[in-house]
Amino acid sequence: MITSRQKLILKAIIEAFVKDAQPVGSKALTQMPYLDFSSATLRYDMAQLEELGFLEKTHTSSGRVPSELGYRYYVEHLVTRDADVVDSFPLIDQIFLKNKLAREQAVEEAIHLLSELTNYTAMAVGPSSNQNTIKKIDFIPLSESDAVILIVTDQGHVQHQNISVPEGINISELKDIIKTLDELLRNRLIKDAASVLETTFAKKEIESFIEYQTQLMHSFIHAFAKFAEENFYLSGVTNVFEQPEFHDVSHVKNFVEMLSRRELIKLIGDHDGLSIRFGSDLKLVPMDNCSVISVPYRISDSEHGTIAVLGPTRMEYSKVIPLVEYIASNLGKLYKK
């Protein structure tokens, strides 16, 4: 059981370490006005916190640094929201006021501002159509060898996929096949469409076009994948490289490759509220010394997005959390207009 005094000491060590990334010793703690305890008392409690797994001792200093467990306890029980952050809210308000009709522009500018205010990497996963249902699949011939498939959802979203019609396949016959697929997929969820297409039943429906079947199937699956792929916004990628945790070149390379694969989308996913995930939660090598703070914003029962900040585990949580929460609340309002 961690005592009240140990909580104060842990909070002080984490917030001091966040500022300069230097191990914290008992001498530094004695200079803090709210830690009016003897050096011996502080050293004892620091040793206890280390034994409990909240602190770690480095090889190069007698001071301690927070462990992941220590950070986790801090964000769950000790962190307080920085009151000075409200001074930045007017800058955020200005973005949403001038972009009432340009939602994507508002998201991009808000994410860029968030990365500048925090000096970390900011990202947003915009609302997708993955939970919408298919209302219509249409086929529009452009020429004897080219056509466009249109997929319309119940929310009015439209996705198109260009296809090439090979020799030996008649446009009118292909149009009949698309009509059959329209009947097959109508009123099904976008997220289920690809698997439906891959079932035996779907293949039997177009068995007369067996040679063209695979290509056509892939075209549809590609179109549905576009629906399922959330709008992804990213800003301040290089910000994290200024942190001591990213001075290793191979670490930077792995991190950039991970971002290019958009692996973070599945990590910041859909949550009911504020989520803070650490290296052991993320299970990715480049994320060993990182954490992700994310907050969802909800537009409707079927549409939602997430805003997040990625930075070192040694992050200014008291500053980042209220900024992420405020921008997420404004994004939700923006999409409801």
Q: What is the pLDDT of residues 165-187, one digit of tens each?
A: 767 677 777 777 788 788 888 88
The model carries a pTM of 0.70
Mean pLDDT of the chain: 80
The secondary structure of residue 133, as a DSSP letter, is B
Q: Do domains 83-128+232-336 and 134-228 have the same CATH topology?
A: no
As a whole number of angstroms, the distance between CA 320 and CA 47 comes to 30
As a whole number of angstroms, the distance between CA 23 and CA 61 comes to 7
CATH code for the domain defined by 134-228: 3.30.390.60
Residue extents of the structural domains in the chain: 4-78, 83-128+232-336, 134-228
Q: What is the pLDDT of residues 287-309, one digit of tens each?
A: 778 889 999 887 666 667 889 99
Architecture of domain 83-128+232-336 in CATH?
2-Layer Sandwich (3.30)
Contact yes or no for 181/205 (Cβ under 8 A): yes
Class of domain 4-78: mainly alpha
Q: What is the pLDDT of residues 188-226, one digit of tens each?
A: 887 777 677 666 444 555 555 545 555 665 666 666 665
Q: Dihedrals φ, ψ of 21, to 5°? A: 60, 25
Please report the pLDDT score of residue 238 as a whole number: 80
Helix, strand, or coil (residue 276): strand
